[in-house]
Amino acid sequence: MIRDSNAAVVDEPVLQGFPQTRPNDEFNRNLVGNVHPTEWKNPTPDARYNLVVIGAGTAGLVTAVGAAGLGAKVALVERSMMGGDCLNVGCVPSKGMISAARVAAAVKNAGRFGVNVPDDVRVDFTKVMERMRRLRAHISHNDSAARFRDLGVDVYFGQARFDDSSTVDVDGTKLKFKRAVIATGARAAAPPIPGLESVDYLTNETVFSLTELPQRLGIVGAGPIGCELAQTFAQLGSEVLLVESEHGVLPREDRQAAAIVQQAMLHDGVKLLCCGRKLEIKSGGGIRLTVESHSKRYDEPIDQLLIAVGRAPNVEGLNLDAVNVEYNEKGVTVNDHMQTTNARIYAAGDICSPYQFTHAADFMARIVIQNTLFKGRKKSSDLTIPWSTYTSPEIAHVGLYEHEAIEQGIELDTYVQHFSDVDRAILEGDDEGFVKVHTKQGSDQILGATIVARNAGDMISEITLAMTHGLGLAKIGNSIHPYPTQAEAIRKLGDQYSRTRLTPFVKAAFHKWLAWTR
């Protein structure tokens, strides 16, 4: 069971097996009433469905509603809560907390702007979490069983398993299909840490059920989830110890960008124990975290432990072997058309993709709709997928990293615009970041980009749009951007590229032309 910072037991879940529904308040009751209503009656099956979709996370929801909107007969099966990770234990609750933490940080740092606030300003963590649950419940209507029923989807709650290549069984009810889609997603999975099994630890599936702020919070894993929540809890008032086995934070990101985020996290009070070795968890009189970091041994008492590393695909119970669908520890195997090793069964989202993002699942689902209903040949490799980590500042990326280009033998030109030379960023006190764009050597074709900025997740879309439609850096430079904005940094990169066109030969010819026209 989950315990708060005073080791008091938090309310039992509304529905057994749904830890994300703690505490039992009106907001979680509204959430459950939308995404797994207790009074729900599964419909009488159609003779044969065009699509049976297993899993009602983003990939499953988009597939089901998109296909039904085109006139297909669709069944959607969910064993837990509609909305998947994003709504219930991912994007929505985390950003609800992050928004509150950013306000707290802004108040704390208000003095830099000449705004004096009382010294006794405090964060009411209970109210922060209540706000998050209220907004999550409000948003949950979009993913509700009733809404999808009204949009023409037959919604079934229960455990799905394949009987054969044309039948899915849902707790004894047989659903016949022409095509099926596996969209069951993935879940948190803890690594083998000595002593971990002896304590009650948190994952992203349970951390949002806390109702009291842990005074000391230990987090294992400095990837996106670990960094976002480490900074958030620190800004809200926890003492946070963040353990990472590699050097620094966000090891997959551009190292210069990650270094800026790391400094911001340290400024907010996160204690980073990187290059962590010999990690062990001890129980008895509370939780103790022991680890060796940079040749120093730490033995730290903590009130709560969050494991923010490791994912496992949700393949259990599907009976995939019976229908010759290959899978492994990373998920279901698909080809470039999102088709599994059974030609009648497709997959989309976290269950089959290395890009475990809501927006990636959305666009994979669109490919599945086209390829299943219209015999299309759309390819997932054609997708240009950006992503963002919502720390403060944010890191956003799209396309190739520099090290990937080197590994692939692709020669690059790299352009960097620091926000220390962007007026709006200076005025807002956000001048620590940059925009970095990689182009194919000798051209303005954009191959990748990284942005570290307050709203990097919003800003990356301009570069993603350019890459998707083959617009080069020069065209961005020729597009008027409002002044003053932080997005002007992207336009300035276009100017940088244009200046490289002024070679010594071009300059000499231009000077001759000017002399001739005088």
Q: Is 221 annotated as a binding residue?
A: yes
Q: Per-residue confidence of the chain (518 residues) as pLDDT tens digits?
A: 233 333 333 444 444 458 778 899 999 999 999 999 999 999 999 999 999 999 999 999 999 999 999 999 999 999 999 999 999 999 999 999 999 999 999 999 999 999 999 988 899 999 999 999 999 999 999 999 999 999 999 999 999 999 999 999 999 999 999 999 999 999 999 999 999 999 999 999 999 999 999 999 999 999 999 999 999 999 999 999 999 999 999 999 999 999 999 999 999 999 999 999 999 999 988 999 999 999 999 999 999 999 999 999 999 999 999 999 999 999 999 999 999 999 999 999 999 999 999 999 999 999 999 999 998 899 999 999 999 999 999 999 999 999 999 999 999 999 999 999 999 999 999 999 999 999 999 999 999 999 999 999 999 999 999 999 999 999 999 999 999 999 999 999 999 999 998 766 666 665 666 667 76
In a domain, 135, yes or no: no
What 3-state DSSP class applies to 17? coil
Nearest to 182 by CA among 73, 53, 78, 355: 53
DSSP 44: P
Are 98 and 206 in a shared domain? Answer: yes
Alpha-carbon distance 325 to 44, whole Å?
27
DSSP 408: T
Give yes or no for a contact between 183 and 173, defined as CB atoms under 8 angstroms apart. Answer: no
In a domain, 20, yes or no: no
E-only strand ranges, 276-411 = 277-282, 287-293, 296-302, 304-307, 311-313, 327-328, 331-332, 345-347, 387-389, 394-399
Range of the domain at 361: 40-82+144-188+312-378
Q: How far from 76 is each of 11, 23, 83, 271, CA to CA, in Å?
A: 31, 28, 12, 45
What is the maximal distance between C-alpha atoms in the chain?
Answer: 90
Burial status of residue 331 (CB atoms within 10 A of its CB: 0-12, 13-18, 19 or more): buried
Are 446 and 477 in a shared domain? Answer: yes
Nearest to 49 by CA among 182, 177, 180, 181: 177
Burial status of residue 119 (CB atoms within 10 A of its CB: 0-12, 13-18, 19 or more): exposed
Are 451 and 487 in a shared domain? Answer: yes
Q: Is 200 annotated as a binding residue?
A: no
Alpha-carbon distance 410 to 178, whole Å?
43
pLDDT value at residue 376: 87
Q: Is 223 annotated as a binding residue?
A: yes
Give yes or no for a contact between 277 and 245, defined as CB atoms under 8 angstroms apart. Answer: yes
**Token reading at 312:** 């496992």
Domain with 93 in it: what CATH number? 3.50.50.60
Q: Is 228 annotated as a binding residue?
A: yes
Are 212 and 264 in a shared domain? Answer: yes
Q: Is 55 annotated as a binding residue?
A: no
Structural domain tally of the chain? Answer: 3
Are 350 and 247 in a shared domain? Answer: no
What 3-state DSSP class applies to 9? strand
Are 278 and 344 in a shared domain? Answer: no
In a domain, 430, yes or no: yes
Are 227 and 92 in a shared domain? Answer: yes
Q: Is 56 annotated as a binding residue?
A: no
Phi, psi of 51 (to 5 degrees): -140, 135
386: left (phi over 0), alpha (psi -120 to 50) or beta: beta
Are 284 and 321 in a shared domain? Answer: no
Q: Is 225 annotated as a binding residue?
A: yes
Are 49 and 126 in a shared domain? Answer: no
Helix (H) or strand (E) holding 342: none
Alpha-carbon distance 221 to 263, whole Å?
17
In a domain, 47, yes or no: yes
Q: Is 244 annotated as a binding residue?
A: yes
pLDDT value at residue 510: 57
In a domain, 413, yes or no: yes
In a domain, 25, yes or no: no
Are 424 and 317 in a shared domain? Answer: no
In a domain, 69, yes or no: yes
E-only strand ranges, 425-495 = 434-440, 446-453
Q: Which amino acid, residue 15?
A: L
Give yes or no for a contact between 314 and 184, defined as CB atoms under 8 angstroms apart. Answer: yes
pLDDT value at residue 279: 96
Last residue of a domain, one of 355, 378, 401: 378
Are 417 and 318 in a shared domain? Answer: no
Give yes or no for a contact between 145 and 35, defined as CB atoms under 8 angstroms apart. Answer: yes
Q: How far from 171 is each of 77, 231, 280, CA to CA, in Å?
A: 11, 43, 41
**Token reading at 469:** 């439609």
Alpha-carbon distance 437 to 449, whole Å?
4
375: left (phi over 0), alpha (psi -120 to 50) or beta: left
Alpha-carbon distance 336 to 339, whole Å?
7
Alpha-carbon distance 422 to 473, whole Å?
18
The dihedral sign for the CA sequence 310, 316, 321, 325: negative
- Helices and strands in the chain, H and E counts: 15, 23
Are 73 and 181 in a shared domain? Answer: yes
Q: Which amino acid, residue 154?
A: D
**Token reading at 291:** 């680890």
In a domain, 416, yes or no: yes
Q: How far from 26 is each of 14, 37, 138, CA to CA, in Å?
A: 10, 14, 11
Nearest to 261 by CA among 385, 100, 389: 389
Last residue of a domain, one of 309, 328, 348: 309
